[in-house]
Amino acid sequence: MNRVLIVGGSGFLGGHLIERLYLLEDRPEIHVLDIRPPPAPSSKFYSYTLEDVTFHQGDLTSPESIKAVLETVRPEVVIHCASPVHGMGKEIYFKVNVDGTKNVVDCVAESGFVKALVYTSTASVIYDGSDLRNADETFPIPEVAMDAYNETKVLGEKYVLESNGKNGVVTCAIRPSGLFGPGDRQLVPGMLAVLKTNGTIFQLGDNLNLFDFTYIGNVAHAHVLAAQCLLDEKKVESVAGEPFFITNDTPVYFFTMPRTIWAHKGYVPRFTIKMSRPVGMTLAYLSEWYSWLMGREALFTRFRVAFTCANRYFNISKAKNCLDYKPIVGLEEGVLKTLEWIDDEDAKAAAALVDEKEKKDQ
C-alpha cells in the first residue's frame, strides 16, 4: 500500500486506523477525507502527529467531492468508516450510510486506480433482537432491521459486497461488535454517566447473557489486515466480497463491563434492582411513543433493551483463518486505556475552564 484514503478518518475509528497504518513497517501515505480535520492525537495514546496525515475536506454525500479527493490522492486502498453515531434521525442514516456509501463505491469503481475498498459495517446487521450465540458469517440478515441505523448499515454493506470486482476493485466488510477505546464518546462515557444518576443499582435482565465488547485498536488492526489481504494475490480470493466479524474473542456477561468500569472508578453498587426484559420492553415502547409525539429520537428504545438482555457473541474463526486476525489488546487492558484517556480528557477540559475563568477575571 503506497497510499491509503480513510473516508471518515476524523472519527473514533479513524484515529486508530491512522495509528495502525502509521505503525506499519512499510508505512503508506495516509490521507483522510472528512468534513472536519482529525483532532490532534495525544502522544500518550498515539504515535503519529497531524503532520503525518494529509487531510482533505470533503463530503461523501457529494460524488463530485469524492471524485476530486480521489483524483488528488490516487490511493490504492480506500477504507470507508464514516457513519453517524447512534441516536440520530433516520434521514441522516440513509443520507450517509446508504447514499454516501453508494457514492464512495461508485466513485472508487470509476477511478481506474483504486484496487481495494474496506468497509466498516457492524455485527448488528444479523441482529433481530433474539439471541446470537457463537454467530458466524453464515447467519442470515433479518428481513426487518431493529432500527434505522442497522437498516442502513445492512443496505450499505450489501452494496459494498455486491460491488466486489466492479472495474477490478475488490471489496470486503468488517463487522465489529461493541466498540470502545480512547476516543469513545458513547459506550464507556455512557456507562460512566450512570454513576452520576445513581443508575448503577438497576439491571435489565438476569445478566446471564454473554456479550462481545471489542477494543477499537483491534478493529483498526483488522481493517489493515483486510486491506493487505485484498492486495495479496495469494489471499484475495478468500477475502474479496466477504464480511468478517471482529471481536476481542472474549465474551463476558453484559453487566460485567459497566461494573468493571465502575469498580476501576472506585464504585461498587451495594445492591441491585433487577428489571425483567418484558418490563424493560414495555417501558421502552412507552418511551418511543412519547418521543414520537414530541417529534424527537427516543433514547430508551426496544432495540436497546433487547441489545442489553440478549446473548450476543460471535465466532471469529473466519477472520482468524482468512485475515490472520487475533486481538492485539486484551479486554481489561483496553478498559484501562479507555479510562486513562477519559481522565486525560477531563483534566484538559478542567484546565481549559480554569484558563477561561482567569482570562475573564483579568
The domain locations on the chain are: 3-184+213-250+314-331
pLDDT per residue of the chain (362 residues) written in tens, 0 to 9: 899 999 999 999 999 999 999 999 999 999 999 999 999 998 889 999 999 999 999 999 999 999 999 999 999 999 999 999 877 888 999 999 999 999 999 999 999 999 999 999 999 999 988 899 999 999 999 998 878 899 999 999 999 999 999 999 999 999 999 999 999 988 998 888 888 877 788 888 899 999 999 999 999 999 999 999 999 999 999 999 999 999 999 999 999 999 999 998 888 888 888 889 899 899 888 988 988 888 877 767 887 788 889 899 999 999 999 999 999 999 999 999 999 999 998 898 888 888 777 777 77
What is the SS3 assignment for 350? helix
CA 58 – CA 77 distance, rounded (Å): 17
Phi-psi domain of 332 (left: phi exceeds 0; alpha: psi -120 through 50; beta: other): alpha
Catalytic annotation, residues: 153
**What is the CATH code of the structural domain delimited by 3-184+213-250+314-331?**
3.40.50.720
Instruction: Indicate the pTM of the whole model.
Output: 0.92
Model pLDDT, residue 161 = 98
DSSP string for 210-233: EE--EEHHHHHHHHHHHHHHHT-T
Beta strands 77-80 and 116-120: pairing type? Answer: parallel
201 DSSP 8-state letter = G
